[in-house]
């Protein structure tokens, strides 16, 4: 642009004045004048956007960019927009991009911890099976020693504590990766729908946690695909079905988990203990596809993020070389 004044029309008028001066001096300069200066000045898209970004009537369309709320179209004015109204809050619009923060290591740790939970699940299933077999023997009148009961309780308790600790760490790591990925989406000027804090907070707000994390994950996948297409023209595979299936299993798994917890806490009779153990085994089996889908979701989304980072690194190298 021609300057950095508060009023963008002033910047444009500098160029208009040059054209007016050229027309005024036409008789003196004659054929030496540049013919382009004698034509009406037509703004470029970038010059129009200087006004659009500060206009009260601007509207951001994800596919088409900044549009006019009044006309529903991109700017097409030549010298002055009849609908321009300065937005008093336009100064608060960020101009400088926030830096992209590294996130691949978080993605890897989120995957590793879910794999660890999956492996622990097999031990947990076997332990529950041993408990069910012990209860069945007791029910059928086979002798069961106190030592066997104590060892069963110790084994089940140890696996339960390790599982809880690993699960909590896994959830924290996953959310850290998820929030960082959404933060980077905003840093890439993809204009995400929500504040990056919701990528973490939405998991803990009742009712909202039933759908908002899914919406953010889907937006992450869609907008990163769009950014890649914008930079390379390459169509990226949508993970909408994968994300939808993962989220459906997450909700169902949550309901199964609540049922198992309630049945375990109120189990007092032998039959109730056997029923609770059976439900626990079913829940563990259900966690297998859920864990695998979670890993695939992390891998698919982080793969697109890594590709974007690689494209940006190449662009930076090319820019640096061109400036030398």
User: Which residues have a Cβ under 8 Å from the Cβ of 30 and sit 6 or more positions away?
Assistant: none
Q: Are the beta carbons of 20 and 13 closer than 8 angstroms? A: no
Picking from 182, 259, 248, 162, the residue whose alpha carbon sits closest to that of residue 210 is: 248
In this model, does residue 50 exceed pLDDT 90? no
Q: What is residue 67's three-state secondary structure?
A: strand
Taking the alpha carbons of 30, 31, 34, 37 in that order, is the dihedral positive or negative?
positive
pLDDT tens digits for range 118-129:
999 999 999 999
Residue 144 and residue 152 in contact, taking contact as beta carbons nearer than 8 Å: no
pTM, 2 dp: 0.68
* pLDDT band per the 50, 70, 90 thresholds, residue 42: low
Q: How confident is the model at residue 86 (pLDDT cuts 50, 70, 90)?
A: confident
Q: What's residue 98's pLDDT? A: 63
The DSSP result for 93-135, as a single string, is S--SPPPPPP-HHHHHHHHHHHHHHHHHHHHHHHHHHHHHHHH
Q: Bridge-partner residues for 58, per DSSP?
A: 68
Mean pLDDT over the full length of the chain = 82
- Residue 43 has a pLDDT of 67
Q: Do residues 3 and 10 lie in contact, with contact meaning Cβ atoms separated by under 8 Å? A: yes
Burial of 186 (0-12, 13-18, 19+ CB in 10 A): middle
Across 81-95, b (16+ Cβ under 10 Å) vs e yields beebeeeeeeeeeee
Q: What is the DSSP string of 227-262?
A: HHHHHH-PPPPP-HHHHHHHHHHHHHHHHHHHHHHH
pLDDT at 111 over 50: yes
- Helix H or strand E segment including 186: helix 146-187
Percent of the chain with pLDDT over 90: 55
Identify which has the larger pLDDT, 71 or 171: 171
Q: What is the largest CA-CA distance in the chain?
A: 118
| Greater pLDDT, 51 or 120 | 120
């Amino acid at each position: 642009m021609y300057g950095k004044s508060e009023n963008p029309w002033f910047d444009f008028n500098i160029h208009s004045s040059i054209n007016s001066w050229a027309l005024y001096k036409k008789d003196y300069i004659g054929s030496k004048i540049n013919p382009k200066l004698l034509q009406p000045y037509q703004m470029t898209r970038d010059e129009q956007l200087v006004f659009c970004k500060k206009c009260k009537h601007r509207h951001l369309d994800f596919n088409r960019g900044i549009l006019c709320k009044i006309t529903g179209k991109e700017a097409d004015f030549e010298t002055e927009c009849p609908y321009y109204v300065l937005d008093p809050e336009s100064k608060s619009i960020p101009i400088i991009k926030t830096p992209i923060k590294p996130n691949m290591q978080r993605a890897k740790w989120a995957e590793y911890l879910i794999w660890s939970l999956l492996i622990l699940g097999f031990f947990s299933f076997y332990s529950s099976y041993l408990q069910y077999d012990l209860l069945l023997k007791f029910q059928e009148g086979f002798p069961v020693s106190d030592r066997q009961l104590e060892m069963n309780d110790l084994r089940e308790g140890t696996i339960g504590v390790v599982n809880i600790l690993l699960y909590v760490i896994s959830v924290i790591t996953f959310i850290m990766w998820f929030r960082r990925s959404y933060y980077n989406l905003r840093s890439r000027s993809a204009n995400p729908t929500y504040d990056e804090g919701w990528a973490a907070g939405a998991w803990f707000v009742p009712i909202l946690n039933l759908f908002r994390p899914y919406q953010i994950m889907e937006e992450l996948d869609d907008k990163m695909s769009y950014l890649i297409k914008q930079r390379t023209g390459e169509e990226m595979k949508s993970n909408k079905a994968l994300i939808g299936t993962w989220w459906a299993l997450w909700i169902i798994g949550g309901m199964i988990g609540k049922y198992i917890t309630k049945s375990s806490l109120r189990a007092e009779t032998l039959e109730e203990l056997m029923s609770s153990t059976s439900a626990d085994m079913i829940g563990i089996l259900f966690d297998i596809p859920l864990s695998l889908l979670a890993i695939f979701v992390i891998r698919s989304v982080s793969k697109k993020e890594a590709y974007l980072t690689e494209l940006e690194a190449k662009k930076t190298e090319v820019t640096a070389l061109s400036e030398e």
